[in-house]
Structure 1
């Protein structure tokens, strides 16, 4: 696994997200084509929470705390529970970019991670490397 390449891709993707939402009005950020769909703001809020509470945490637990269960997540439920569509887009994007920088620093700081370290998940066996590539 080419850690440097994947970390660079993650940094570039964060900037792509910043550029994609730059100039979006508040009305556009909150708009949903139908009640079951997510607004732009909800998508960015989802990315922020996933960045902070899902991938990095699951990789950390898989690599460093293999006997501890992964903390639970509820991405679908968080949309309404955490009132994503009531947030401010600018603050949410900045929060995501900050969290992504923290993730990149954390990844760069890993010392010879065993990406083949695995654990059982509800959907089957998954390695730290699988989680990482899903994140990218």
Structure 2
């Protein structure tokens, strides 16, 4: 079982994400999170997918698209660092990604299918990562991070955004 990363293994701004990840097997947590993500977004219509709880906030569709984009980028980082690549990896502007995606033109079903495919690829990547690679250190967005930490950041990021959907979007719609 993959060990929870130490706070010294990732930047401080990821602490809230890592802290959201429950104790247990990371692969099982990611698999369960996939099921709960499907349940959450399957119940949202395309019309409701355009809802924003405030004018400057992303729509529900944009949040799901952001979750997918971020997981792809973090999985790429996990792959590169896990394989021992010491090349500094660039950061990304999440707002530019959301704007550039034009995700509100897609159906929520298609956006969810993309998340499902991305999460399945993440699970396969983590499942097949050699044990000795989890402690590898690399540089992403001008900060040092371990492969292990990235796995937990991926899980915590999705949990964080689903919590926001439940607390701020779905309760505001009622």
Taking structure 2 as the reference length, the TM-score comes to: 0.69
Secondary structure class of the residue paired with 1:68: coil
User: Given the alignment of the two structures, is residue 119 of structure 1 paired with residue 157 of structure 2, yes or no?
Assistant: no
Equivalence for 1:80: 99
Which of 35-44 and 124-133 deviates more?
A: 124-133
Q: Which residue of 2 aligns with 1:5?
A: 25
Q: Take 1:101 and 1:85, find their aligned partners in 2: how far apart are those partners?
A: 23
With normalisation by structure 1, the TM-score equals 0.86
Closer, same or farther in 2 for the Cα pair 1:63/1:33, shift >3 Å?
Answer: same
Aligned residue for 1:26, secondary structure, equals coil
2:42 to 22, 28, 39: 22
Following the alignment from structure 1 to structure 2, what is the Cα–Cα distance between the partners of residues 49 and 121?
A: 16
- Aligned-pair CA distance for 1:102: 1.5
Q: How does 1:4-83 map to 2 (within 5 A)?
A: 5-52=25-72, 54-83=73-102
Q: Secondary structure at the match of 1:102?
A: helix
SS in 2 for 1:115: helix
Q: 1:21 to 1:48 in 2, by over 3 A?
A: same
Q: Match of 2:135, SS?
A: coil
Q: Distance in 2 between the 1:40 and 1:5 partners?
A: 29
Distance in 2 of aligned mates of 1:76 and 1:21:
21
- The alignment yields a C-alpha RMSD, in angstroms, of 2.0
Using CA pairs under 8 Å that are at least 6 residues apart, name the structure with larger relative contact order, 1 or 2.
Answer: 2
1:121/1:70 Cα in 2 relative to 1: closer, same or farther (>3 Å)? closer
Q: Where do 5+ consecutive residues of structure 2 fail to align?
A: 4-23, 156-174
